Amino acid sequence: MISRNMPMCQAVLEHYRLLPLLPRFNIRLGFGEKCVEEVCRLNHVTTEFFMEISNAYLDDDYIPQTDLSLFPLGDLVGYLTSTHHYYLEVAIPKIERKIHQLLDGSALSEKERGLVSGFFDDYRKEFLEHVSREDKLVLPYILELEKEYMKEKPDAEFMKRLQVYTIRDFAREHDRLETSLENLSRLIIKYLPPFEDFDLCHQVLTDLSDLVRDLIDHAHMEDKVLVPRVAEIEQHLLRKSEAG
């Protein structure tokens, strides 16, 4: 677990899994003696928010110290957006590159190669659709909702839309992205003939498993933290407009 007075260097050395989180907060290395709190302050990140997100990420059984619902929704939306960016720009292309490298140097039949690359292509498409729906529709909607919530009198058009679509509709259709990835690992470990380049194969499986873990944390943030919080604000707005 990381705490506010811990040197940031120590936090990272003790918890290497923190590394992919840092760019999502725009935090760069070269911490010197600075503690977690100082690094956060210098990078305009709310320390409590950083600690809650990081500790939940590092430990599945972590019990939040500060209620995540106390932070502005904008912080959470910003974090989820940067995470999407990380998946699309870093994690997925990296795995894709390594998978192709692995297939190129393998003795697999054409059919077997086609199976793996086809599987990954389909996955990339599914992933892109999922994330762009959130980036283009769901997250902007949440920011708008928070803005309307702050107003004395919410916009009539917005309230009309709220009667038809709420975050619960999104949650009902929100599917999991990690399941197909686990199937890809299973395909490699269980069914395909062994790859000559075991080191590269190991890297691919490690990258896949890191991404699966990251996606589980991400879905948890969306389903268990974001959705209930947004639903609560929606209910509040709807009650207010009924009363008024």
Residues that bind Fe ion (CB under 5 A): 134, 222
Nearer to Fe ion, 106 or 166 (CB): 166
Minimum distance from residue 84 beta carbon to Fe ion (Å): 6
Q: Which amino acid is at 225?
A: V
Torsional sign, CA 200, 201, 202, 208: positive
Side-chain half-sphere of 116: how many Cα atoms within 13 Å?
26
Nearer to Fe ion, 85 or 94 (CB): 85
Our CB check for Fe ion shows the closer of 52 and 134 to be 134
Smallest distance from Fe ion to CB 120, Å: 19
The dihedral sign for the CA sequence 102, 106, 110, 112: negative
CB of 222 to Fe ion, least distance (A): 5
Using alpha carbons, list the distances in angstroms from residue 182 to 58, 132, 133, 145, 210.
Answer: 20, 22, 23, 35, 11
Nearer to Fe ion, 116 or 225 (CB): 225
- Report the amino acid identity of residue 121: D
Cα-based angle 215, 229, 15 (whole degrees, multiple of 5): 40
Query: Residue 80 Cβ, how far from Fe ion at the closest point, in Å?
Result: 6
Question: Whole-number minimum distance, CB 70 to Fe ion, in Å?
Answer: 22
Q: Cβ neighbours of residue 162 under 8 Å, at least 6 residues apart? A: 234, 237, 238
Quick one: 40 or 80, whose CB is closer to Fe ion? 80
